[in-house]
Chains A and B, each alone.
Chain A
């Protein structure tokens, strides 16, 4: 990759400072971070994009590609999010079947995962959790939320179940709400008034006329 291509990928003009490069890189990583694409069919595309961004960053900062940023190195995220990360946790009935469901899910084979899951007769917390993940992948969010809520109710101590349910709740409650920093006029006036009062109490004066 040539430096000019790298600048283009990071959305910068040629000759941007190291500080600008770092800032652009950080923003882009946030945008394509695997956490944004959990149980989303676009996760692979996002991972590819992230890899490209990492390469561009490496070219521009002229460092060895290894040991620069550890956690963002793309490949560590390719297996599709939370479902594959802690599969060793479950050791109950039908453990091997549940493990197979997780394997299929991390390989993005939702149909196979569903058919294995349907074959399992015990409907425990693990079953509801995996059912929820399958529903998510299919776009059936209503059923998915119901199933994940059941899983975390049946086994409240399980962090994975609870996280999956809470991630769903988080994603929608703040969606599309303006996140504007900064104060409105009322707050500014209040601050000025408070400052004046404090100054006067200490013997000085912030606003002369009052």
Chain B
């Protein structure tokens, strides 16, 4: 997970934004208590969304006041419950998978260190999520074999990652009727995240000679940038398909936040990321950083500084 899935803050009501922050803090709290203090550094926005989705299934969520351990002067709301615990476990699982992945290609030292440090929280989370593990493992396995073979089809590796998120989304504590829409949503969000990451890393991957599906498909980063329309279709159509699941999920007071995140939030993020390479020529640093909404409570980099 890469933290691309954020709400469009300007379109949220103040109350809704507070609720979103409470869910972010709730997952962080669960990570600290159920996994380990260190693993809360790896928290991503994607998993906050996962918690939000889980909470919308059973609307009774306990929210309470607390203090942020990383910013003790700040009082925060925490929305905890089974949904936050689940999202935290999923976060611990995926964070270690990502470190393992890093270890194999671009960042051997950072990856190895992360894998080592995140093993304990991973094992704890894996114990609780054991029914999902086979599906997650098989998706990851397929993804790494496709990457090893240098697959040039956009669909295949994106769908393999989609399979991983399909498993994660289908495990959200939810009524039976919601499982199928959730899986479909997860599958398409996985596809979207994978391709977003590929587009984001075009230059870096070309320089380091790493596998990137868009580089394989189009030949070079420059050629890929010319095919922006095709990438845009792939990104936005995945989101469109994911959004067809929304009306089939139980509606709650959280639905507007979820709709915002998957609609304006994700689409806006895609469009500005797609424009990343146009903007880069005029002023460096436009792209990923400028569109991140105000950090809810704490970011991983701040935590690293303070610990």
Q: Which residues of A contact B (CB under 8 A)?
A: 11, 31-32, 36-37, 40-42, 45-46, 49, 135, 138-143, 145, 168-169, 171-173, 175-178
Contact = CB atoms under 8 A, between A and B. Distances in A.
Contacts of B232: 172
B237 A49 contact: no
Contacts of A169: 233
20 contacts: A41-B184, A42-B181, A42-B184, A42-B244, A42-B248, A135-B155, A139-B155, A139-B191, A140-B156, A141-B237, A141-B238, A142-B154, A142-B233, A168-B233, A172-B232, A172-B237, A175-B237, A175-B267, A176-B239, A178-B11
Contacts of B191: 139
A40 B244 contact: yes
B237 A143 contact: no
B240 interface: yes
B162 interface: yes
Listed from nearest, the 6 A-B pairs whose CB atoms lie closest are A176-B267, A140-B155, A172-B236, A142-B154, A172-B237, A176-B263
B264 interface: yes
B39 to A, nearest CB: 31
Contacts of B248: 42, 45-46, 49
A44 to B, nearest CB: 9
A171 B237 contact: yes
A124 to B, nearest CB: 23
A37 B244 contact: yes
Interface in B234-274: 234, 236-241, 243-245, 247-248, 251, 263-268, 270
A177 B232 CA distance: 14
Given A140-B159, A142-B155, A143-B153, A178 B264 contact: yes
B207 interface: no
B233 A141 contact: yes
Given A36-B244, A140-B159, A45 B180 contact: yes
Contacts of B238: 141
A32 B247 contact: yes
Contacts of A139: 155, 159, 162, 187-188, 191, 241
B245 to A, nearest CB: 6
Contacts of A40: 184, 241, 244
Given A40-B241, A172-B239, 16 more contacts: A41-B180, A42-B180, A135-B155, A141-B234, A142-B155, A145-B233, A171-B237, A172-B233, A173-B236, A175-B237, A175-B240, A175-B267, A176-B264, A176-B265, A176-B270, A178-B264
Contacts of A49: 247-248
Interface residues of B, number: 37
Contacts of B180: 41-42, 45
A143 B217 CA distance: 12
Nearest to A49: B248
Contacts of A176: 236, 239, 263-268, 270
Contacts of B245: 42
A141 to B, nearest CB: 5
B230 interface: yes
Contacts of B270: 176
Interface in B152-187: 153-156, 159, 162, 177, 180-181, 184, 187
Contacts of B11: 178
A178 B263 CA distance: 9
B272 to A, nearest CB: 12
Interface in B111-157: 153-156
Contacts of B241: 40, 139, 141
Contacts of B247: 31-32, 46, 49
A46 B247 CA distance: 8
Nearest to A37: B244
A142 B236 contact: no
| Residue of A11, A36, A42 contacting most chain B CB atoms (<10 Å) | A42
Contacts of A31: 247
Interface string B283-303: 000000000000000000000
B1 to A, nearest CB: 19
